[in-house]
Structure formats: structure tokens, C-alpha cells
Amino acid sequence: MSLFQAKLMAVFSVVYAGINVHQLTSAYDAVREKAQLFAEIAGTEGVSWRLRLVRALFYLAAPLVYLFTMIGAGLPGSFLVVAGIKFWMSSFTGLRTERRLLRGEGYSPRDHALARFDALLNVALAGAAIWLVLRVWM
């Protein structure tokens, strides 16, 4: 438990919330166009290893680093469990949507609604993390 890790966790939380606020406010048509572009690029030959690398970064490494900074900041264990479950659910949702896109099924309004709900929960998680770190260190 260190003040440096608490500050680092607060920075990660602000960045995480900002990314998710952008996703939360994105229009369906804009996201659908980007999803179609993703499907076209990911469907070409020789891209699979790069796609795996990006998946490992966004769905495994980034959440683990954020979770470790939460641990280092001294957040309660119950919050860490909830955060871990939330990161797992976000990864599951993202991978599910990617798989559907790669099968050619397209980005649906249901996918968009689920992504917006996930982004809302992510913003709430980041806000709660900042609130808790302030309670621990103040």
C-alpha cells in the first residue's frame, strides 16, 4: 500500500472513465461503421496474431495492471472482487461482440445497448475507485 500507487490508480481511473464516457456517448451508426471496418480488417489474412496481441492487451493486461494498482492503493478486498468480476464481464462482452463481427453477423442495436450499459458500469467503477482511494488516504 503506497501513496504512489494510489495516485497511479487515480490516474488510471480518470483515463478509464474518460474512455468509457466516450463509448457511452457514441452514436450507434458511428460505432456500427467502425465495427464493420474492424470486421473487414480482422478478416484479412495475416492479421490473427496482431488481433491476439491487441486482445491480450485490452482484455487481459490493462485490466490486470489497473487491478494491481487498486490492490497497491489499499482498496478493500470486496471492491477488488467486484472490480475483477466487472473486468471479466467486460472482456467477455467484448470478445463475444468481436466473434459475432468476425462471423459476419454485424453490429446490432442489442450489441450497442450492451456496450453502453457496460460503459456505464465502468464509469461507475472508476468513480467508486476514486471515492474509495480518497477515503483510504484522507
Q: What is the pLDDT of residue 24?
A: 84
Q: What is the pLDDT of residue 49?
A: 75
Model pTM score: 0.81
Question: Each residue of 62-96: b (16+ CB within 10 Å) or e?
Answer: ebeebbebbebbbbeeeeeeebeebbeebbeeeee
Tell which residue, 15, 119, 137, has the closest CA to residue 66. Answer: 15
Q: What is the pLDDT of residue 127?
A: 92
Q: What is the pLDDT of residue 123?
A: 92
Q: What is the pLDDT of residue 59?
A: 82
Retrieve residue 16's grid coordinates. Answer: 478509464
Residue 58: DSSP 8-state:
I
Task: Tell me the average confidence (pLDDT) per consecutive run of 10 residues in the chain, 138 residues long.
Answer: 83 88 86 83 73 80 89 91 92 86 84 90 92 85
Retrieve residue 54's grid coordinates. Answer: 491487441
